[in-house]
Amino acid sequence: MAHINENFLKLQKNYLFADIAKKVSAFKESHPQANVISLGIGDVTQPLAPAVIEAMHKAVDDMSTKETFHGYGPEEGYLWLREAIAKNDYLARGIQIEPTEVFVNDGAKSDTGNISELIRWDNSMAVTDPIYPVYIDSNVMIGRAGVYEDGHWSNVTYMPCDEANQFVPQIPDHRVDMIYLCYPNNPTGMVISKEELAKWVDYAIKNDAIILYDAAYEAYIQDPNIPHSIYEIEGAKKVAIEFHSYSKTAGFTGVRCGYTVIPKELTAKTADGHRVEVAPFWDRRQCTKFNGTSYISQRAAEAIYTTEGKKQIKQTIAYYMENARIMREGLVELGLTVYGGENAPYLWVKTPNNAPSWKFFEEILYGAQVVCTPGVGFGQAGEGFIRLTSFGNREDCLEAMTRIKKWLKA
């Protein structure tokens, strides 16, 4: 008899955004004339950059003739894209990353979820709270998270990020094996300084831990003093894996492409104490379970690094950050407490009168026909907050602020 992996039974209800979709769908059914504006789910709205579109058209043409047709590509990604990544995202910032240390994927979500396979199921982990749900759920699925009690998993160390500590996670007072960090942070939109990030690198070196660093939103950083990569910190190559995505950087949510960096210097121990490089194991895993990102998507990603591509991507990011400014200033004028939105496309808004997150979600949906994301969906420390995204159309952002203002002042 086949037995199900019972770790899946431990997962808490539905995925957060599936719950939101159900609630919004129920509202639309009962209010068919309502024009709902979504500022909740972080999907982009602006079209792909012209340079990207041109590259994709050419790539499609390549597939139309025998001479230029591409079938299976390298599971790690085509070398020309890996070289472009190493040159533009790292060398340009004074960081030496070899193209062979770059692994192209179909988006950061896949690799941040799958990376847990590299580390023994009984290793401990630490996460910031609130946190992107995929980090926890993927570890629940393989049995690492332990038992769920009172809103927490027994084998997970939670590091609250709240107003009390100015959203700076405190380093654990004990040893953990895996540490998930995401900066600029999803969901709070907050960033981390080089000084604070250096403390984490030092901790990982001292405790022989691995940092899983999600830099999916680094392109939105406006402050020149904020690190774009953990590898800006000395010693980080020995202890960190870094994830990048083109989804929000270049609007690739429907194209699917990103990459993971695993330096050759990163090692881990076997049960008998031998040290081994981590990258070859990830390479082996990818070659077994992944056939590589499509040729067309990779040519699209390559175009981001052209002169025109860089210019066009910056314009799109500026558009979203202007949305964030409009939303942030509008909400502050209403007397709301707002974090983020300055170096990230997310705003972390404190609910009025300490209203529970899901209660406020319902109130703003029915009162202003605006969709947000309940902060508690990202963890217990997110209770009393909501997340808003700046990825909408400008007209929708302006209309949403008008509606919220009218609703709150009613």
Residue 366 annotated as binding?
no
Residue 105 annotated as binding?
no
CB neighbours of residue 402 within 10 Å: 12
Residue 403 annotated as binding?
no
Residue 217 annotated as binding?
yes
Residues 6+ apart with CB under 8 A from 274: none
- Cα distances (Å, whole numbers) of residue 122 to 133, 175, 276: 20, 14, 18
Residue 93 annotated as binding?
no
Residue 346 annotated as binding?
no
Number of H helices, E strands in the chain: 12, 17
Residue 183 annotated as binding?
no
Query: Which helix or strand (DSSP H or E) is residue 158 part of?
Result: strand 156-160
Report how far residue 171's alpha carbon sits from residue 160's, in angstroms, rounded to the nearest whole number.
10
Pairing of strands 346-350, 385-389: antiparallel
Decide if 399 contacts 369 (C-beta within 8 A). Answer: no
Decide if 233 contacts 196 (C-beta within 8 A). Answer: no
Residue 42 annotated as binding?
yes
Decide if 111 contacts 289 (C-beta within 8 A). Answer: no
Report how far residue 360's alpha carbon sits from residue 404's, in angstroms, rounded to the nearest whole number.
12
Residue 10 annotated as binding?
no
Strand order in the sheet with 210-214: 102-105, 258-261, 240-245, 210-214, 178-182, 125-129, 156-160
Check residue 89 and report its DSSP letter. I
Radius of gyration of the chain (CA): 22
**Helices 50-62 and 295-303: angle between axes, nearest 10 degrees:** 150
**Which of 219, 211, 265 has the alpha carbon at shortest distance from 244?**
219
Decide if 320 contacts 220 (C-beta within 8 A). Answer: yes
Residue 247 annotated as binding?
yes
Residue 382 annotated as binding?
no
Residues 6+ apart with CB under 8 A from 318: none
CB neighbours of residue 366 within 10 Å: 14
Report how far residue 255's alpha carbon sits from residue 44's, in angstroms, rounded to the nearest whole number.
12
Residue 186 annotated as binding?
yes
Residue 51 annotated as binding?
no
Residue 132 annotated as binding?
yes
Binding site, annotated residues: 15, 42, 72, 108-109, 132, 186, 217, 245-247, 256, 291, 387
Binding site, annotated residues for substrate: 15, 42, 109, 132, 186, 291, 387
Binding site, annotated residues for pyridoxal 5'-phosphate: 72, 108-109, 132, 186, 217, 245-247, 256, 291
